[in-house]
Every structure is written in structure tokens, then in C-alpha cells.
Chains A and B, each alone.
Chain A
Amino acid sequence: MKVTLETYGGLAAAVRRRPQTLDTSTLPETDAAELTRLVTTAEATPPPTGSDGLARDAMTYAITVEDNGGTTVLEQSDPTMTPAFAALLRWLKTHSAPR
């Protein structure tokens, strides 16, 4: 399973940000299991409904999950993201290789 994080928007929306990709096949077994669990939970959690659209300079995160079964894209924004999405996002941010 390949998981790619893209970040866009925010106060500094104009700066270029490179996508960060993690592949479970190259991760230690415990990390791969943890990432798979977080992805499964985030995919199963419905996105927040009816954002009032008032947030300015909010960041948006697109997490693309590529698996044998196909591709899933999860996209949510600060500060309305679900706890499941936030947990996956934090894990990706802290486990991605330094740029």
C-alpha cells in the first residue's frame, strides 16, 4: 500500500510543496501495521458535513491511498477534520522523511 500526502492552501499557499509518499512494503512491520490501521479507520469515518466555509487561510490535505483494490483519495481541511483523519495526518507528518 502506498500513501501519499499532499498539502495545499494556507497562509503560504503560493509556496511549492512536494508530495510525501510512504510505502508499507518499505516500512518496519509495526509501522506498516499502524499505518494500515489508521488508513482503514480514516476511510471508514464519514467526512465532516456542512463546513460553514468561513475558515480563511486553512490548509487542505489530500491523502491518496493506492492499494491492490484501487485508489482512494481522502481530502479534509483545518480545523474541521475528523479525529480519524487528524490521527492519520499526524502519523504521516511525523513519519515522512525530512525534506
Chain B
Amino acid sequence: MRTRPINCIIPPYILDKLLESPDSDIRQAALDTLLTTARLRGERAVRASIAGAAATPGDGRRTVFDCDGAASLRGAALARTEDGPASSDTAVNQAFDGLGVIRDFYQEVFHRNSIDDQGMRLDGYVHFDVQFNNAFWDGQQMVFGDGDGQEFSNLAGSLDVNGHEVTHGVTENTAGLEYHNQSGALNESISDVFGSLVKQWKLKQTAEEADWQIGADVWTPGITGDALRSLKAPGQAYNNPQFGKDPQPDRMSKFIHLPDTPRGDSGGVHINSGIPNKAFYLAAVGIGGFAWEGAGRIWYDALRASTADATFQDFADTTYQKAGDLFGVGSSEQAAVLAAWAGVEVQISGVPKARAFAVSGNGAVGREDGLAALSRQLGELNAKVSGLARDIAALKGST
């Protein structure tokens, strides 16, 4: 477990000073803040212990089928079941193991029982088509190609690709983000975010340690480039003669407008996902520690609270609100979310721009500029004191 000595909006040493204030109203406000923070801390600890105890093996029984090169799921042969023996086929076992890790990840981290939270079966299909450089989710199951061996290798062997596809199912069962334009790019981003988190969780990597790549193991050794996508550096995942340069934008001013057609990638859903991907990365690194414990929980709750037509702005606002719900309004986590979205040029609605200005574009997110943070905290303290003074006056008036 990571430790976080400062978790409330006003540093404890300032609160201690305020407790010594000759002004009784200020003393009361400081005491109130300390009590609230302590209570929130207690709730977080309780929540975590409940989630841990409830993480018993869930449903989500796995079945893997072998398409044997057919471009159709009909007629695929049963290759491995939840309780059956391992297969002699590597791709079958890779898909089976990957689905297991993803199922456990959702169960243990988010207390989610499979894709639909009701124990939905996890069906994977491998060896789909020949020279098939792709993996997809068809609304019910995950489908993996073998790759052509020249550019793409077997896709079932990539844990983050597995996680990406399963997460399409989770999104379908929660926000149901429409698969075009901004909501579609959010849909894609959610799959990349949780696909990456699955891998980080498996490897027990902190946000700093993770590679933040999708499909790093998908290119064959003959292809130069790191991965299909990078959440840390959208637009820099690859640059080679075969595939050109990674076109993903990493901020709103670089948003790419494409037609809402198959040829236009439904409005660039796999392109503009770079923007919310980068926001997640910035939030995770800003919060620090294991990304699934902080930013991951915020994004998961925001996904469940979002509507199908959510825009980047809508989703950003929801993450900010959920960060407040989970970690406290004005918490460092919430400040990190604010700064993360500012880092991709999305300003949270109703929050003055000045509060989130201390953001560098590339990796180094300030929690908040010190002066801006202090002035905000003092403003909130002032509001508290004024409110308390009113309450006291009302009490006096009523006796």
C-alpha cells in the first residue's frame, strides 16, 4: 500500500496552527476539517477491506474456441473449458490465461463479476481467419487473429489487447458509449486504459514503472516501433515505412476531424482516443502509486456514471466529480484529475482555469500551483468560517 501523508485540502500543519487561533470560529472550522478528513480516511480504509474480503473467485467461466483459419465463428471447435485440461495450442492457452487475469482484475480491483457484473461467460475465439492482423469484440465474445507473421504476431498473446477487447464488453454493459466521434473515442480510450491497467496490475507496476503501451508485443521483431499506441506519448508509438507515423493527438487543439464512416474510423475513434488516454496517464502519474487504486477507480466510477453520448468534456467533468466523491472534494487526487485534463486542454466545467494552470504538457503534472492551491484552500476555509459564523448566529438567535 502506498502512503499519503497529506490527503486533505489544507495541510495538517496549517490546520494545527489554525487550531491555536484566538478566533473561536477559525478553531471550529479547522477542527471540522480535521474531523471530516479523518472520517473520509476511515471510509477509504473500510471500503478497501470490504473489497478485499469480497474478492472471492467469481463466475465468468471461460471457454476458448478454435476457428482454425475460418473467417467465421460458426463451426469453431471447442478448444478449452474452465475446468478442462490445457490445450496443446499456445494461442488457446494464451487467450484462456489472459481472460482469467482480466476477470480476476475486475473482480479484485473493482469488485465486478465479469463483463456484465453478473458472471457473464467469457468466450474467446482464436485462429480467426488467415493472416488476420486484428482482434475484435463482436458484442458477445473476443476474437483473435494469428497475425500475418510479417508485421503482426499472434494477438491472443497480448494481455493488454485481451484487456482492451474485454473492456469493450464492460463499456457495453455500463455507459454504452456510442462507437463514433467523441463518445467512440472515449469508448476506445476506456479499452486502452483498462487494458493497460490489467497489465500493470498483473506486473504490480506503479504508474511510474509502467510502459503505458498497447500492443507492445504485437509487432513482429522486424517492425520498428514500440507499440500500437502509447497512453504516455500519443503520436509517438511508432514511425516506420510500413505504417507511417502514429497519428494520435495528445491534446484538444490537435483533435482530428474524420468522417463518421468505416473508412474514417467512425470519426477517428482509434485516433482521437489519444486525448483521453493522455489525460488518464497524467492523472495516474499525478496521483502516483498503483494506477488502478487511484485514477483507475475514478475512471471506473466515471464510466458507470456516464451516458452513451458523452463527450470528452462530459467525461472529464464526471471524473472530476467522482474524484471528489472517492477521495474528497479538494483532495490531491481531485487536483490531479483537474490538472490532467488541463494537460490535454480540457477545462473542467465550473472550475476557474487558473486553478489548473500549473501543468506541463509532457508528463510532469503539477498537483496544483502552490499559490493557486493555497488561495483556493483559504477561500474554502473562509467559506467554512462564514458558514459556521452564520450557524452560530442562528443558534444564538434561536435560544
Residues of B within 8 A of A15 (CB): 228, 238, 242-244
By secondary structure, the B interface counts as loop
Contact of A8 among B191, B228, B265 (CB under 8 A): B265
| Docked-complex contact A13 and B130, CB < 8 angstroms | no
| Docked-complex contact B72 and A58, CB < 8 angstroms | no
Min C-beta distance of A68 to chain B, whole Å:
26
* Given known A-B contacts A9-B262, A56-B187, A98-B150, A14 and B229 have beta carbons under 8 A apart: yes
| Docked-complex contact B265 and A93, CB < 8 angstroms | no
Residues of A within 8 A of B263 (CB): 6, 8, 60, 62
- In the bound assembly, the distance between CA atoms of A11 and B150 in angstroms comes to 17
| Docked-complex contact A56 and B137, CB < 8 angstroms | yes
By secondary structure, the A interface counts as loop
Asked if A43 lies at the interface with its beta carbon under 8 angstroms from chain B, I say no
| Docked-complex contact B168 and A56, CB < 8 angstroms | yes
Q: Which residue of B lies closest to A13 (CB)?
A: B270
In the complex, which range does the number of interface residues on chain B fall in? Answer: 35 or more
Question: Which residues 54-93 of A sit at the B interface, judged by CB distance below 8 A?
Answer: 54-60, 62, 75, 77-79, 81, 83, 86, 89-90, 93
Interface size on A, residues (CB 8 A): 34
Min C-beta distance of A96 to chain B, whole Å:
10
Question: Which residues 247-270 of B sit at the A interface, judged by CB distance below 8 A?
Answer: 247-248, 262-263, 265-266, 269-270
Min C-beta distance of A72 to chain B, whole Å:
17
Asked if A29 lies at the interface with its beta carbon under 8 angstroms from chain B, I say no
Starting from the known contacts A14-B270, A57-B165, A59-B136, 20 additional A-B residue pairs (CB-CB under 8 Å) come to A8-B265, A9-B266, A10-B134, A12-B243, A12-B270, A14-B247, A15-B238, A15-B243, A54-B172, A56-B137, A56-B139, A62-B263, A78-B71, A79-B71, A79-B72, A79-B73, A79-B138, A83-B72, A93-B131, A94-B130
